[in-house]
A and B are shown apart, each in its own frame.
Chain A
Amino acid sequence: MIATLSVVERQVGLLLSVLLALVGLVMAASAGYGVMAVHGSMALVLGIALIFAFSGSVSDPEPPADRIYHYYDAPIRFGIVMTLIWAVIGMAVGVWVAALLYWPEATPAAPWTTFGRLRPVHTTGIIFGFAGNALIATSFYVVQRSSRARLADAVSPWFIMIGYNLFSVWAVTGYLMGSTQSKEYAEASWYADILLVVVWVTYFVLYMRTLARRNEPHIYVANWYYMAFILVVAMLHIVNNIALPVSFSSDQSFPVWGGVQDAMVQWWYGHNAVAFFLTAGFLGMLYYFLPVRSGRPIWSYRISIVAFWGIVFFYIWVGSHHLHYTALPYWVQTLGMTFSVMLLVPSWASAGNAIATLNGAWHKVRDDATLRFMFVAAVFYGLSTFEGSFLAIRPVNSLSHYTDWTVGHVHSGTLGWVAMIIFGAIYTLVPNLYDRSQMAWPRAIDWHFWLAVSGTLIYVVSLWNAGITQGLMWRTYGSNGSLAYSFLQSVEAMAPYYLLRTIGGALFLAGAVLCAFNCLATIRAAPRGVEAIDRPLSPQPAE
């Protein structure tokens, strides 16, 4: 990392490292003990390590001057490695909690191993760790290539990558120690939230600056999706996490929202986390890597633009479909329901556009497992958005809500769509970043593909069954007018599905581990200091 920075940039890096160590010191010292002290110490140690790394090399010679003729890929490589590490951690914890549901007696007698603490470790590890790193890394890749311009500077990408991963580690370790804001997908403590805001603003600014130096007359549509992702996530994160710390030396805080307003803000956040984190950003990924890999033009330019505005406009309204039949006023629920149904059209138009793009490249889909990942991703994107719009209809939701159907839907989206498109992108960009013609073990991609597809199908189908069984058992009345099943019976009925889900998850995890080793082997095989051979259209010095 440091070798790619100029002397001035190294000085800025050193300054930032000192700042990080100081912030860590202040946090640890003012808290004294507990979660915040542990997190402060982490920042302090990281800051000191970076100070050492920088101060040892401030006076080293400048990096080769021809670097401005290349894309700045070093932070992308770091991001991809972090993506893979988080994938394995997040999915392993997922398989573990799935096994706990089947076999709760196996919970070891230590507080941090309880389901309640491990579940957010899984969701945060996957959404922020795995998906987030993949989004940031690929966005750097895509914005440079599709603008044919080098990243606007070399320090902020590192600031973003390191800050973002520090946020994720703070979040996950906080849950293990029992600290949470109790907002789903936003459990991290207030100071971690502030760190994320700083990182995210830097990210947005870097993205805009890089787009501004583009060598293409137009902004490619993938960048629109990435920009929507960055901008809206900043807005959601800030609004949902506004909270008053109990004191500045404690990780605890009070949300400013209360009651049903809090619930609405939370699900406005929660659903748009799905929309802009897990959908818009990944559509950006799809719109870049699918045509590149298949060598086909995007089937419809118009759809890609219209669907973008459709998705952005409709999604913002639909959060209330998570709160059907609650204290939320009926009219808000109706709006959430109807906008969810209208949302189906731009969603399917995007999925259809992706699949139609493969027209003329079906032989490649057959032969190339990497392209197959992308194809399956588009299919699951279509499936899960159809399912989502269906679940958002109130009477349907009265059956599905609180059941494992929701979890089945979630994983058709996250495994089938998000993870598949990430793997497709990784298998495309890793060889390119290390100037290899292909992955080290091409056969392993096929294995990974089948593990991932079978794992997803087993997972999703068993939880569809589980959820519908639960929903029906909870609402069936006997002829005597009383409920036909006790809750206990509905729990017992879940056992086979939970076992199958664990197996499906384990298959998916096995595929991800294979991918990580495949990437490791590819990286190992590359000579040190190798650069991708594709280049910006014109050299631009860092600002």
Chain B
Amino acid sequence: MTTHRSRSVSPDDVDFKDGIQEVDPVTGYDTTGHRWNGIRELNTPFPRLVLVILMLTFIYSVIAWVLLPAWPIGKSYTHGILGLTQEGEAISGFVAIEKTRQSWLSRFDKPDFAALAADKLLLAKAMPAAVRLFEDNCAVCHGQKGTGGPGFPNLADAYWLWSGEPKEIAQTITVGINSTDDDARFAQMPAFDSLSRSDRKKLADYVTALPQGKTSAKDPASALFADNCAPCHGDDATGGLENGAPSLADHSVIYGQDRHTVLTTLAHGRQGVMPAWSNRLSSAEINLLALYVAQLASKQNERTK
């Protein structure tokens, strides 16, 4: 344990008199003779080293000023002898990278999916880029592996709202669903608050039992379904009408097929939004993603087989 008493001495202490130069025993330098509350300063000469380093940084700066845009002059500035501009550097960097990329990506300009999927050499180059594109643009909603979540459909299974064909997927990505795009796919699950509450409960029980195949045509709810729901979800509730209404008879769900969630769906309706990507991704990138998404599903199928 150490106890340093750092308080200063009384005013009358000789130690406080200003103007006495002394020699510091440790360094051998004179003090300046100033004293402030006991603080003294050494009269150490300005270190050479500091000056040398300062000169080096000056030289570095002057070289930078000569080579690069640096000093303002009136309304312009010194452009530097390298003639660099930020825009120029950015563009030339982009062009260099883009050349390598286009060497294979341009193959995706034409949506000839059968030919593309057969070219294993091409896919070896393209698929890592597709993974990155998917994770950067789609994973926020559809999940990193495309398996979706509440409100966002699973893209890695065999069940589709629209279609699992690469061509149709590319269309979905390009225009989106219920998006602001003029050609957007439109899909709406209307609210059935016009039905009585008891009818909705019956329907909910019916829909909940559908995936288990435990429904019968004699069930009074079956008639309700045929009247209200079949036009969109299909007579046997298996969807596939390519109007964005999912099959209700399979195990794949978007919002949930438990009684409570179905009741919410019936009371308020649903209209999920999938943004359009035509303004943000090139058509080659969209085709690449479409192929990737289609393969997500088939890979999953192979695994479950």
Bound together: yes
Please give the residue numbers on chain A whose beta carbons come within 8 Å of chain B beta carbons, in ascending order: 145-148, 216-218, 220-221, 288, 291-293, 295-304, 306, 325, 329-331, 334-335, 337-339, 341-342, 344-345, 348-349, 352, 359-360, 364, 367-368, 370-371, 428, 432, 437-438, 442-443, 477-489, 532-537
Instruction: Report 29 cross-chain contacts, Cβ distance below 8 Å, ordered by A residue.
Output: A145-B37, A147-B36, A216-B18, A216-B35, A217-B18, A217-B34, A218-B34, A292-B37, A295-B4, A298-B42, A300-B41, A300-B47, A301-B44, A302-B45, A303-B46, A304-B41, A331-B68, A331-B69, A331-B72, A341-B61, A342-B57, A345-B53, A352-B50, A360-B26, A367-B2, A438-B4, A480-B128, A482-B105, A534-B37
- The docked-state distance in angstroms from the alpha carbon of A344 to that of B40 is 26
B25 surroundings in chain A (CB, below 8 A): 360
Please give the residue numbers on chain B whose beta carbons come within 8 Å of chain A beta carbons, in ascending order: 1-8, 10-11, 18, 24-27, 31-32, 34-47, 50, 53-54, 57-58, 60-61, 64-65, 68-72, 77-78, 80, 84-86, 97-105, 125-126, 128-129, 131-132, 134-136, 139, 144
**CB-CB under 8 A for A330 and B41, given A146-B36, A368-B2, A480-B104:** no
- Contact: A481 with B100, CB < 8 Å? yes
- Contact: A345 with B4, CB < 8 Å? no
- Contact: A481 with B32, CB < 8 Å? no
Q: How far is the CB of A244 from chain B (nearest CB, A)?
A: 29
**CB-CB under 8 A for A299 and B42, given A331-B78, A338-B64, A359-B26:** yes
Q: How far is the CB of A434 from chain B (nearest CB, A)?
A: 11
Q: How far is the CB of A279 from chain B (nearest CB, A)?
A: 18
- Contact: A334 with B64, CB < 8 Å? yes
- Contact: B41 with A364, CB < 8 Å? no
- Contact: B86 with A338, CB < 8 Å? no
Q: How far is the CB of A398 from chain B (nearest CB, A)?
A: 10
Q: How far is the CB of B236 from chain A (nearest CB, A)?
A: 39
- Contact: A534 with B42, CB < 8 Å? no
The residue on B at minimum CB distance from A339 is B61
B42 surroundings in chain A (CB, below 8 A): 297-301
**CB-CB under 8 A for A292 and B39, given A339-B61, A480-B100, A480-B101:** yes
**CB-CB under 8 A for A297 and B3, given A482-B129, A535-B11, A537-B11:** no
Q: How far is the CB of A179 from chain B (nearest CB, A)?
A: 29
Q: How far is the CB of A216 from chain B (nearest CB, A)?
A: 6
B125 surroundings in chain A (CB, below 8 A): 480
The residue on A at minimum CB distance from B96 is A481
A331 surroundings in chain B (CB, below 8 A): 68-72, 77-78
The residue on B at minimum CB distance from A370 is B4
Known: A146-B39, A288-B39, A331-B69. 15 other contacts (CB 8 A): A148-B36, A293-B4, A300-B46, A301-B34, A330-B68, A330-B69, A330-B85, A331-B72, A345-B57, A349-B47, A352-B50, A359-B26, A438-B5, A481-B100, A534-B8
- The docked-state distance in angstroms from the alpha carbon of A339 to that of B64 is 11
- The docked-state distance in angstroms from the alpha carbon of A247 to that of B54 is 51
Across chains A and B, which 5 residue pairs bring their CB atoms closest together, nearest first? A481-B100, A360-B26, A486-B135, A481-B101, A338-B61
A532 surroundings in chain B (CB, below 8 A): 7
A481 surroundings in chain B (CB, below 8 A): 97-103
Quick one: which of B5, B8, B50, B104 contacts A145, CB cutoff 8 A? Answer: B8
- The listed residue with most A CB atoms (<10 A of its CB), out of B31, B69, B80, B139, is B69
- Contact: A216 with B136, CB < 8 Å? no
- Contact: B86 with A484, CB < 8 Å? no
- The listed residue with most B CB atoms (<10 A of its CB), out of A303, A486, A487, is A486
The residue on B at minimum CB distance from A327 is B86
The residue on A at minimum CB distance from B40 is A297
Quick one: which of A217, A218, A443, A487 contacts B1, CB cutoff 8 A? Answer: A443
- The docked-state distance in angstroms from the alpha carbon of A291 to that of B6 is 10
